[in-house]
Structure 1
């Protein structure tokens, strides 16, 4: 009877329903077997499709309907396996097993029940949470095709504070991604660029045809790149009447048009990250490892005046608070140093935010994400971008910083030269000529 008990417990785990077919209610067993075999078949088919067309599977599981369907299926199997396991415990008849084996069999059965049913139940919880998270962050809208084989995304680090009127982008960059290979290039835009041009057809560009503030000044205190957001948002929202309805805002749209004018690229989407909530996301992921190149101060407050302590050169594991200071610190450093550190932080997050890490800490990541991120990337494009991001992680991220060392003078920038520099960096590598 002891051997029989162990066999039934193992069979119930390996092939749920088989224990009932062999030694119990065969009708229940056949139901459990059919359900198990259907799940195995679905998993095999999904795995085969993922190997051949990964974007299809990823699109299904980043879609609200697909996630809810997955949640229902997982909840069904959690309940089914719970019923089968409890029924198996009745079939093994513990009182007839050897006395020393009884607690072992009972504990092993309970552990298997917790692992199997708990995993399915947690999967259902993650699926429903993911559906709510994705619906709250990503918009429903048409997909944009790649332009010249690339997707270009404006990345804004928002810096709202009590000492300033509204939000002003503290960091600006354009991430250009090869739509085939996933190769990413980060173009860091100095926030103090002047005489910024706008792309053709820009609403705010019609007001500043010679560049932002280049003739008679602008309508805010400083006529620089990061002031465009504030002017459009607070002074001229009527220039962008449809921005909010389209999941954006006047400030974001004006800044996007300026980024297009600077780079000469067509920018399909934007991502706005609230720097004040950025630390929550880092904490949710368990921190981030950064190779500090030079001493960087951590300040006592946001006046950036008094130094609390310094990050010393070398590998540092940072929580959200310290990662935010590392990216924003100003004391004894220039804006260009900050741009480099912010790019380094982005690359470190991309490298360390693995699917396993995100999944195991999903609840915290999702809670932080809804407070941190605003974007107009449509939910229907998530599967494609997740697949593309997997390729991006395997390649080194290229960088095009628009800094004085690269010949860029923020007070008198040559935008034609800037666009030529960017075009050269994004040009496909020449193919090797085959040997004769």
Structure 2
């Protein structure tokens, strides 16, 4: 007997299925930023605003919460490092100002700061673009998506723009300091407690041989307190002595007039530059002047100022009187009280009537002067004496110092820096800049003392008592210590 086994039924073949896809992540209660309900425009709009705000307050935090955590950590760490550096700078500026100024005026730290600021600005752009991706603008409200994008870009401009501006300021500072303070070498020690600098205001001319110093003064800064004394010289002062050096050997009894008019007009102190440059023996008398960032004419004027005042003057600063105008405009003008009506312009020939040459007038009273007016205020001389002119130049110097506030300098930094680079020449070494800046900040808190070597100051311009002048300077710079009464 044969047993027949019926075959087992087989299941019909399964039709091919499409590839499986991961289901969308469901909203997780308590984590709406990372796992939002994408179907809710209201939630996505609120989430978008939060992400934009997080990106602005702490760049990288939006990525840590909702996206690429590695990128987010990079942003957060970079931000913390930047704020730490800023805080360290602020603390050192307040608690260790000389150290801060030394770092802030050195080339390498300025280059490093510039690179860091640019890199941080670029990082902020990357983080902002990624944040907008994470926001998923198409899921937000129609009106909100444009507002979120606009706000994100505006905050980016504020934040990264600030970093770019800081980088530009660092670069400008480095370039300006390099252009002005080209001399190298260690800063010298103060002489009898003072740093003395010869300050020369010069006409704007294309060749040095015809340059006469329109304004001559010595700035003496107390090395401890920053107290500043400015001593002004009449530019036609004759017969002055020199300190030890080549000019004293040439004029052992004081400076004399010249038979050769090409060597200067008369024997006034402001003619020394012409004498040393035109007579063409200046390089023989001062062979190291050019290599040290100076000129024979300036070195001779230094020796004259030292001989007259009896103090050591190691450095000079020349100011281009026409570039002065640009600096004052860059500072936003200066405030000066005018005591008398002054003409703008100068006669081509002595004796011309005023209407032939006067281009305008500076009227008495309180005035906020632009650069053009301030320059003529300092230089106008045809209706007043040289002594009045010296007084006005001191007033303008003090007005400019008063205008050099942190707010003005920061808001007009580029303009001030550009004007300064064209304005000043000096042999002050770069290493001395931090000390000068520190003393300048101290000086702003004190009144400037002035000594004018004029009849008003008890000095006969044409027959000065040199011993009296030196005693006057000593007693002003080193006043007697008061003793207790009784």
TM-score by length of structure 2 reads 0.85
CA contact 1:283–1:319 (8 Å) conserved in 2: yes
For the pair 1:276 / 2:322, whether they are aligned, the reply is: yes
Query: Residue 160 of structure 1: CA displacement?
Result: 4.3
Instruction: Please give the alpha-carbon distance, in whole angstroms, between the structure 1 residues aligned to 2:258 and 2:325.
Output: 40
Instruction: Please give the alpha-carbon distance, in whole angstroms, between the structure 2 residues aligned to 1:140 and 1:315.
Output: 43
Range with greater deviation from structure 2 (166-175 or 83-92):
83-92
CA contact 1:208–1:214 (8 Å) conserved in 2: no
Structure 1 residue ranges (4+ consecutive) displaced by more than 4 angstroms after TM superposition: 160-165, 214-219, 300-305
CA contact 1:160–1:168 (8 Å) conserved in 2: no
Structure 2 partner of 1:355: 406
Structure 1 partner of 2:173: 130
Structure 2 partner of 1:297: 343
Local SS of the residue matching 1:185:
strand
Query: Residue 96 of structure 1: CA displacement?
Result: 2.2
Structure 1 partner of 2:360: 309
Structure 2 partner of 1:256: 302
Query: Residue 303 of structure 1: CA displacement?
Result: 6.5
CA contact 1:217–1:223 (8 Å) conserved in 2: no
For the pair 1:98 / 2:141, whether they are aligned, the reply is: yes
Instruction: Please give the alpha-carbon distance, in whole angstroms, between the structure 2 residues aligned to 1:163 and 1:82.
Output: 50
Instruction: Please give the alpha-carbon distance, in whole angstroms, between the structure 2 residues aligned to 1:165 and 1:215.
Output: 16
Structure 2 partner of 1:232: 276
Query: Residue 399 of structure 1: CA displacement?
Result: 0.8
Structure 1 partner of 2:120: 77
Show the 5 A alignment for 1:324-335. Answer: 324-335=375-386
Structure 1 partner of 2:241: 197
> Of 403, 417, 422, which aligns to 2:454?
403
Local SS of the residue matching 2:291:
coil
Query: Residue 161 of structure 1: CA displacement?
Result: 5.0
Instruction: Please give the alpha-carbon distance, in whole angstroms, between the structure 1 residues aligned to 2:273 and 2:480.
Output: 35
CA contact 1:156–1:170 (8 Å) conserved in 2: yes
Range with greater deviation from structure 2 (273-282 or 177-186):
273-282
Local SS of the residue matching 2:290:
coil
CA change 1:337–1:90 in 2 (3 A) is: same
Structure 1 partner of 2:6: none
Local SS of the residue matching 2:343:
strand
For the pair 1:140 / 2:184, whether they are aligned, the reply is: yes
CA change 1:363–1:408 in 2 (3 A) is: same
Structure 1 partner of 2:9: none
Instruction: Please give the alpha-carbon distance, in whole angstroms, between the structure 2 residues aligned to 1:160 and 1:73.
Output: 40
CA change 1:302–1:393 in 2 (3 A) is: farther
CA change 1:161–1:75 in 2 (3 A) is: closer
Per-residue deviation, residues 344-396 of structure 1 (Å, max 9, x unmatched): 11101111022332233232223222222100111121122112111111111
> Of 56, 59, 71, which aligns to 1:28?
71
CA contact 1:183–1:392 (8 Å) conserved in 2: yes
Structure 2 partner of 1:416: 467
For the pair 1:2 / 2:45, whether they are aligned, the reply is: yes
Query: Residue 338 of structure 1: CA displacement?
Result: 0.6
Instruction: Please give the alpha-carbon distance, in whole angstroms, between the structure 2 residues aligned to 1:164 and 1:329.
Output: 23
Instruction: Please give the alpha-carbon distance, in whole angstroms, between the structure 1 residues aligned to 2:323 and 2:348.
Output: 15
Query: Residue 30 of structure 1: CA displacement?
Result: 0.5
For the pair 1:107 / 2:150, whether they are aligned, the reply is: yes
Instruction: Please give the alpha-carbon distance, in whole angstroms, between the structure 1 residues aligned to 2:413 and 2:218.
Output: 27
For the pair 1:186 / 2:230, whether they are aligned, the reply is: yes
Larger Rg: 2
RMSD: 2.2
For the pair 1:154 / 2:198, whether they are aligned, the reply is: yes
Local SS of the residue matching 1:400:
strand
Structure 2 partner of 1:384: 435
For the pair 1:66 / 2:109, whether they are aligned, the reply is: yes
CA contact 1:160–1:166 (8 Å) conserved in 2: no
Instruction: Please give the alpha-carbon distance, in whole angstroms, between the structure 2 residues aligned to 1:299 and 1:264.
Output: 37
Instruction: Please give the alpha-carbon distance, in whole angstroms, between the structure 1 residues aligned to 2:349 and 2:96.
Output: 51
Give unpaired runs (5+ residues) of structure 1. Answer: none
Structure 1 partner of 2:41: none
Structure 2 partner of 1:369: 420
Local SS of the residue matching 1:101:
helix
CA contact 2:257–2:266 (8 Å) conserved in 1: no
Query: Residue 215 of structure 1: CA displacement?
Result: 10
Q: How many residues align?
A: 434
Give unpaired runs (5+ residues) of structure 2. Answer: 1-43
Local SS of the residue matching 1:82:
helix
Instruction: Please give the alpha-carbon distance, in whole angstroms, between the structure 1 residues aligned to 2:393 and 2:369.
Output: 14
Query: Residue 43 of structure 1: CA displacement?
Result: 2.0
CA contact 2:346–2:382 (8 Å) conserved in 1: no
Structure 1 partner of 2:58: 15
Local SS of the residue matching 1:365:
helix
Instruction: Please give the alpha-carbon distance, in whole angstroms, between the structure 2 residues aligned to 1:278 and 1:215.
Output: 32
Structure 1 partner of 2:219: 175
CA change 1:249–1:313 in 2 (3 A) is: same
